[in-house]
Structure 1
Amino acid sequence: MNSTTAVTAASPPTRSIRWALASLSLSMLLSSLGTSIANVGLPTLAQVFDASFQQVQWVVLAYLLAITTLIVSVGRLGDLAGRRRLLLSGIGLFTVASALCGLAPSLELLIGARTLQGLGAAIMMALTLAFVGETVPKDRTGSAMGLLGTLSAIGTAMGPSLGGLLIGEFGWRGIFLITVPLGLLTLLLAQRYLPADQQQAKNTQVAFDSVGTLLLALTLAAYALAMTLGRGQFGVLNLALILLAGVGAWVFVRVEQRVTEPLVRLAMFHDRQLTTRLIMSLLVATVMMGTLVVGPFYLSQALGLGAVEAGLVLSVGPLVAALTGVPAGRIADRFGARRMTLAGLLVIALGCLLLAVLPISFGVVDYIVPMVVITLGYAVFQTANNTLVMADVQAQQRGVVSGMLNLSRNLGLITGASALGAVFAAAGMRVTFVVALALIALACRCARRH
């Protein structure tokens, strides 16, 4: 009996399902908030600790690197040791690390605490999606995925504004301490309402692939650093890190082919539909991050908006995502996730086309309308694609597959910030979104074939 059947057969009370989803939603909200809220505090941290931008940017990079390098590994660990147990540990670690960040007396200790916070966030991100199959009936998976997508968008959207308000009222420590009571609430709800680990997960004797974990972490760290170091200047160090990542990936594959219980079963990539949907997730995340990187420069330099006006315009995209996540999930449940995946990609493509061809004389409307279109398409695509990836995964593989799905998104975000940011710096807005349109066209081709 699979977990979906078990959930249906057990007929858990609707109230318990709702509170379980509330705990998962808060987990997604907190991990997303942790990504965006610290960015606004970098100038303040540079002043407080008398540090350069290159030094304080590690407050953000440490969190991002911890998530990127460990998210697959913690997903696999959840499959082996029990997802409920590990998720509770992740929420607890995130909460404690948040307190340590807020109390840190030095920049070095703050960066260390942010690394621990990123580890907690990696566990929360990987296992939140994996828990959907154990929490809600299969015919409501799309709606649940849409809810989680909404909370992720809300966390990302409110991070800068909430962070600015907290810094103004309580200083920089407030942007980290705010997540402590929220983390405690999340832990309380998860402890009370999340379903218990399956017995076979508790009693499993399968060994954890520590060598594969280390190799994958080092490989992903090399790639992430190559894409983030240098602030858009791709130099010798970046190239060396890319080569190191390539060698690491080759060694990782060779090791995984030989160990008895690998971290990632390479046979799963023989499933072309799964592989294709991970690739599409990466491509779309690359484009979405490109819009976030390019937008502020376009609004300030081309349209001449001030910081406040630009901030209001930039909030439109996340606000649309927050409002459309749940409806997108219901649409995916009703009309079929496969069909809605392609529909979402086509809408994103339309938005990219508008940004590439609309004249600058249209002003702010030239930016807002296409971004609303892109964000609508993204909400539909992400919900439908996540639903398809997680719907038919075997219970013992949900953690690692959820980790792979989140990893594809994170790698896309990192690549988009670097690659499309470089295209914008070299060739401007129109060429950037011509490239983005080409990436979405490739994703559409993948969706049509699979």
Structure 2
Amino acid sequence: MTTIAADAPPSPPARGLRGPWGTLLASAFGVMMVALDGTIVAVANPAIAHDLGASLAELQWVTHGYLLGLAVFLITAGKLGDRFGHRRMYLIGVVGFALTSVAIAMSSGVAVLIAFRILQGVFGATIGPAAMGLMRSGFPSHMLGRAFGVFASLLGGATAAGPILGGVLVSAFGWHSVFLINVPIALAAIGLTAWLVGPNRPTDAGSQFDLAGIVLLSIAIFALVWALVEAPAEGWGHPLTLTALGLALVFGVAFVLWELRAEEPLLPMNIFRSLPISIGTVLMILMALALMGSLFFITFYLQGVSGLSPMQTGLQLLPLTAMMAIWGTPAGRLVDRVGARLPTIGGLVASTVGMAMLARLTPEIGWVYTSIAFILLGVGLSFVMTGATAAIMTSAPVSLAGVASGMQQAAMQLGGSLGTAVLGAALAMTVSRTLPGHFAAAGLPKPGPDEVAGMQSAVSQGGAVIPDGASAAVADAVTSASHLAFLDGMHLSFGIAAAVMAAAALLAWFMGPKQQEQVDEGSDDSTAEPVLHL
């Protein structure tokens, strides 16, 4: 008996550009808008704080609120796309994202701005799964890797352009412009979709909404992301952090138990019987944990320890972002040719080496060394993201393309939040442990526990707390000791990230070799893998 995966029924012949690549072009504009927003806003934060009088905590929620809206709604948005059609949900997401961008730009208070940022995250969550669903149903299986590779290149370019474009816009037009720039991009996405993308076709039109599953999953993800966001400030042992983690666990378990008995579940649990889907999802979490968690601190090193300006920091990071933009397409072609396993393993090995190099940074290491490490990371991550995404999306039924895409993107969001929280905690604890010793070695009075606690936040961001009236020699000694303590913590964080990447490479081996060409049967949308038994 031979098992062959099923393929979606063939679509009507495309006319002109109204084919798979036209669909990719139209959907890429919306996803690039979301990716651009993720990096361009960081440049505007100081101007927002100055103009609206935002505190540090409020400024953090400008980012955290967007993250919450995005993470909580991703899988539900994917299900909506399967049910009502990905073209329709994509357009709703693009229009909503543009309108909330205008509302944010017109906000006169930080509370209103944060509220619209949360809503913008919800619309952003609608765009990603819908775009992936359009690609999954539009491209034949043997071309999906190439399509995802091109997609990754476009996203890498948008991410790389964010800080540079943001700096130009804020300098010339103020912080409002970094949100208003989304309007012309959205108009281009809407026009291209109307021109290039065929009629709206739901892939799971007969399904019912799993309202209980949506509520349980939304509460679980909200509680988990909130805990991960607040833990670095409140502390892991704080009652609010523990309560949020407890809620996430309780509602997460309740969601799984409900999905196992629901007639039409939001996320069919038997989809995880597919090793490519299960392992691909775990790889997304581990990759985002290592990457986002460690690179969150590299800017502190470049600006605080190395003394680079924000623009110089962006240029120093260019080898990373440029490699992700350049290598996405070749990675996709290789995935189509040999399958996802070997390119993913190779990418994880390259990423491990790059991360291990970053774990050996010192104040004296020059830009050549860091550039080589960033190049290895950029090339490696291109293969990992393309391979893991292809493994998930090509193994899921077309009828669950939106849900699978939402799950893949939610895994990245949760992994990034987990990495920032966990690796940040490791860095902060190391700073507290080693700072007194570095002060003593520099001939300075050894600080007590209360003094260390007061300096920990600044030192963990690559800075130093200089006593009032300190001489230049004392200031230099305090700065040097603080930087050494920061590097101790950063080395540990990058070392953990490299170990996570290495473990992920071992796990990727079990994804299995290249699958045979497959066609989607679509007769039973609840099955884990669409198959025909011959």
Under a length normalisation based on structure 1, what TM-score does the superposition of the two structures give?
0.93
Measure the CA separation in 2 of the matches of 1:402 and 1:24: 14
Measure the CA separation in 1 of the matches of 2:108 and 2:312: 35
Question: What is residue 211 of structure 1 aligned with on the other side?
Answer: 212
The one-letter code matched in structure 1 to 2:111 is E
Tell me how far 1:232 sits from its aligned partner.
5.1
Measure the CA separation in 2 of the matches of 1:272 and 1:137: 21
Question: Structure 2 residue aligned with 1:187, among 187, 190, 211?
Answer: 190
Question: Structure 1 residue aligned with 2:17, among 6, 10, 15?
Answer: 15
Greater helix content:
1
The answer to whether the 8 A contact 1:223-1:241 is kept is yes
Measure the CA separation in 2 of the matches of 1:110 and 1:163: 18
The one-letter code matched in structure 2 to 1:343 is G
Tell me how far 1:355 sits from its aligned partner.
2.4
Q: Deviations over 1:296-340 (max 9, x none)?
A: 122234433333322321233112211221222122223332221
Question: What is residue 316 of structure 2 aligned with on the other side?
Answer: 313
Measure the CA separation in 1 of the matches of 2:106 and 2:30: 22
Tell me how far 1:373 sits from its aligned partner.
0.3
The answer to whether the 8 A contact 2:163-2:314 is kept is no
The answer to whether the 8 A contact 1:303-1:363 is kept is no
Question: What is residue 222 of structure 2 aligned with on the other side?
Answer: 221
Alpha-carbon spacing, 1:328–1:200, altered in 2? closer, same or farther (3 Å)? closer
Question: What is residue 421 of structure 1 aligned with on the other side?
Answer: 424
Alpha-carbon spacing, 1:189–1:173, altered in 2? closer, same or farther (3 Å)? same
Measure the CA separation in 1 of the matches of 2:111 and 2:181: 21
Q: Secondary structure at the match of 1:261?
A: coil
Under a length normalisation based on structure 2, what TM-score does the superposition of the two structures give?
0.79
Measure the CA separation in 2 of the matches of 1:133 and 1:5: 12
Asked if 1:362 corresponds to 2:354, the answer is no
Name which one, 1 or 2, has greater alpha-carbon Rg. Answer: 2
The answer to whether the 8 A contact 1:29-1:155 is kept is yes
Question: What is residue 435 of structure 1 aligned with on the other side?
Answer: 496
Q: Deviations over 1:187-223 (max 9, x none)?
A: 1211222232336644x2x321122112211111111
Tell me how far 1:410 sits from its aligned partner.
0.8
Question: Structure 2 residue aligned with 1:102, among 100, 105, 112?
Answer: 105
Question: What is residue 287 of structure 2 aligned with on the other side?
Answer: 284
Question: What is residue 83 of structure 1 aligned with on the other side?
Answer: 86
Greater than 6 Å deviation, 4+ residue runs: none
After superposition, residues 231-270 of structure 1 pair within 5 angstroms as 231=232, 234-235=235-236, 236=238, 237-270=240-273
Tell me how far 1:415 sits from its aligned partner.
1.1
Asked if 1:39 corresponds to 2:42, the answer is yes
How many pairs does the alignment contain? Answer: 446
Q: Secondary structure at the match of 2:259?
A: helix
Question: What is residue 514 of structure 2 aligned with on the other side?
Answer: none
Asked if 1:6 corresponds to 2:10, the answer is yes
Q: Secondary structure at the match of 1:229?
A: helix
Show structure 2 runs of 5+ residues with no match.
431-487, 512-534
Measured on the aligned residues, the alpha-carbon RMSD in Å equals: 2.0
Measure the CA separation in 1 of the matches of 2:47 and 2:232: 19
Moved more, 418-427 or 369-378: 418-427
Measure the CA separation in 1 of the matches of 2:204 and 2:251: 30
Q: Secondary structure at the match of 1:6?
A: coil
Q: Equivalent pairs: percent with the same residue?
A: 29
Alpha-carbon spacing, 1:200–1:246, altered in 2? closer, same or farther (3 Å)? closer
The one-letter code matched in structure 2 to 1:24 is S
Measure the CA separation in 2 of the matches of 1:101 and 1:77: 26
Question: What is residue 509 of structure 2 aligned with on the other side?
Answer: 448
Measure the CA separation in 1 of the matches of 2:356 and 2:63: 32
